[in-house]
Chain A
Amino acid sequence: MENKLIVSSSPHLRANESISKIMRDVVIALLPATLAGVYYFRMGAVKVILSAVIAAVLTEAAIQKISKKRVTINDWSAVVTGLLLAFNIPASAPWWLPAIGSIFAIFIVKQVFGGIGHNFMNPALAARAMLLASWPVQMTAWVKPGTDAVSTATPLAIVGGEASGQALPSFMDLIVGNVGGCIGETSAILLIIGGIYLVYRGVITPRIPVIYIATVAVMSFLLGGFDISYMVYQVFAGGLMLGAIYMATDYASSPVTEKGQIIFAVGCGFLTAIIRIYGGYPEGVSYSILLMNVATPLIEKYTRPRVFGEVK
């Protein structure tokens, strides 16, 4: 029997966790908002979501095949990237737009740098930025929720004054997502429910989302002339919930230390508020997170935690 015994160093017990379980949880968390997107934007949303997810998964499989690596599409991470990218695109976009975005996200941002865990930027956000720079018209062609695809402006553009003359949607519409915008960034409440699920499942800690959102709230209150309703719109409209809960918490492109995460989240919130209020552009979430992604290695370098028993 001797040689049959397995000998390895401790621990001999592993938690019942895996990459695919985590990624599947993220997909589950995004499901309510996905359904809401489809409900509000009908076939347009379906087309964008399918195109983004299928392209992401196929790209991942193709690259891993070609480079003779183990194909890991069943870890669900490509699905997450595709879905998140789709959330960042308006429902009116042509089908090839999300596909190009997904190919870019998986190929350039994820696999070129070594695959899962090695992307220094959030792949979906980097792809969104690329699409926005290349096809600005298609990427901002907002439509009103419903079947008739009437064009509209996002609530943030209305509050910010970039789209004057349009009526601001009611707070209730804002919360449930009955407003113009990208597919996934409309329903704040469903995104929050998904976020609570992720915290409950231990996939993320509330640290980054809460601090990020709080920073935006405080800054827009202070800089927005102490106007509560302005602050509320800044917090619940646009991509803040999506960005703070699902994008800024991307494992590979955010710090792992507690202090690092706090700095990262405050930085995201600060930049978002500044871009929204002083920039000529109503949204600021994607660029803020991308900028902080780039700063992450530096933040980590200077936030090594105090070791137990260490006197500093």
Chain B
Amino acid sequence: MKLLSFRGGVHPPHRKKATEKLAVIKANEPKVVYIPLQQHIGAPCEALVKVGDEVKVGQKIGEASAFVSAPIHSSVSGKVKKIAKMKTPTGEATCIVIESDGLNTVHESVLPKGDISELSGKEILEIVKEAGIVGLGGAAFPTHVKFSPPPDTNIDTIILNGAECEPYLTADHRLMLEDPESIVYGLKAMMKIVNVKKAYIGIEDNKKDAIEKMLECVKNEEGISIVALKTKYPQGAEKQLIYACTQREVPSGGLPMAVGVIVNNVGTAAAIATAIKTGMPLVERIATITGSGIKEPKNLLIKVGTLFNEIIEQCGGYNGTPGKVIMGGPMMGLAQHTDDVPAIKGTSGILVLSPEEARLPEPEQCIKCGKCVEICPAFLQPVYISAYGLKDMYDKAEEYRALDCIECGSCSFICPSKRPLLHSIRVAKREIIAKKKKSK
């Protein structure tokens, strides 16, 4: 099979050995869950329950108040103890604190929705929306929004992202090995929503077993192809993945639908399958708990709302003093201030680095080696955007197209002078966007 790819990119060490062979196991039942009403960009949800209410698994406890938002559901059965602001992996949000009764009584609303052959596209979309499904790759963007293109857009392809190009993480890899049927079922549901006949599942070739498994699984499916991708970061970035599979370039500033494509994570597809087959909304997910700072790395099926420290405890606890606790992978993940935060729908992994690994390198002068330019998958010149950004020359940074940066971090990764390229580009982007808003 010919490996497809994009131009640019870097080769970070994989570091997946610790968990890639470990089957997903169910995490211990949390005694208390803390479910944030806001888990992604967009509007926060409104609480549907009050302190003292009894709730059940799968019961809707937060209602999406805007279009770009997804409802949230209880991951346990028990009693609402508190509704209060607390720290979450993405900042701070109001959380519904539920004490579990340990029974996991399923809510009455959780019922199989029928088969996709009988459901209409519209009905499936409604199920996706009601089940609170968001992108499970990390960004947690509400999935139903992606499937509601403006009427004049012509969508002809769906791509499932099974690249899992972030080092350390193996959650998607395990899912593809252990439950490929659900992925394909979810994919077919997606194809029905927007009525397309063509789909790709892109997988990096460092997961040969997953490629084989998925090939086996789609052998009788029409229109679904498995694409072996070159192992390179950021192979799973939306625009790069679309390019690798279809050779289409999403226009600068545009969305994938501009080239007729919708991209979703394989985990998202499996969540859709569950929502249709059992009616269970998105209340749990697979996450990889790993890194040298974890005693026994694992792939765990965790309930949304479980505290990080509780999850880490189940993996043997910390291996020495933790240096950095990251939600997600090392390239794009979010460093946490504390491990006292709940897992959310977008928690694809918890990565703990040792203090030595976490130590920030001392930046040196840029030697103009051009490596950042050579590898930028958006074809930018990070060295100049960053330099102008640091001098507060944001107009210049914009001229060098700072806004096209996909924040993959490849430039900071490769820089021999350890310059904080992406960090300064992020600052520049924020300033540029703020200025644009003001002048509107």
Contacts and interface: CB of A to CB of B under 8 A. Distances in A.
- Are both chains from one complex? yes
A308 B416 contact: no
Given A307-B401, A308-B404, A6 B323 contact: yes
A9 B426 contact: yes
Contacts of B379: 305-308, 310
A116 B381 contact: no
Interface stretch (B72-80, B152-160, B193-201, B328-336): B328-336
A141 to B, nearest CB: 35
Contact of B337 (A7, A114, A310): A7
Given A12-B324, A256-B373, A256-B381, A5 B335 contact: yes
Contacts of A1: 321-322, 338-339
B368 A117 contact: yes
B381 A305 contact: yes
B370 interface: yes
B325 A5 contact: yes
Contact of A309 (B250, B332, B333, B336): B250
Interface string B253-279: 110000000000000000000000000
Interface in B306-321: 321
B418 interface: yes
Contact of B249 (A10, A77, A252, A309): A309
B12 to A, nearest CB: 6
B326 interface: yes
Interface string B354-388: 01001111001111111101100111110100000
A10 B334 contact: yes
A22 interface: yes
B414 A309 contact: no
A309 B365 CA distance: 31
A304 interface: yes
A15 B368 contact: no
Contacts of B418: 14, 18
B90 interface: no
Contact of A14 (B253, B332, B338, B413): B413
Nearest to B416: A17
A257 B189 CA distance: 44
A257 B331 CA distance: 24
A252 B331 CA distance: 28
A88 to B, nearest CB: 22
A298 B337 CA distance: 46
13 contacts: A7-B337, A9-B420, A10-B409, A11-B412, A12-B353, A13-B331, A19-B364, A72-B364, A114-B365, A252-B368, A307-B378, A307-B401, A308-B379
Interface of B: 10, 12-13, 167, 239, 243, 249-254, 321-326, 330-340, 351, 353, 355, 358-361, 364-371, 373-374, 377-381, 383, 400-401, 404, 407, 409-410, 412-418, 420, 422-423, 426
Given A1-B338, A308-B377, 17 more contacts: A1-B322, A4-B321, A5-B322, A11-B413, A15-B10, A18-B416, A18-B418, A19-B367, A21-B416, A117-B366, A117-B367, A117-B368, A117-B417, A202-B371, A256-B369, A306-B379, A308-B243
Interface of A: 1-2, 4-15, 17-19, 21-22, 72, 75, 77, 114-118, 202, 205, 251-252, 255-258, 304-311
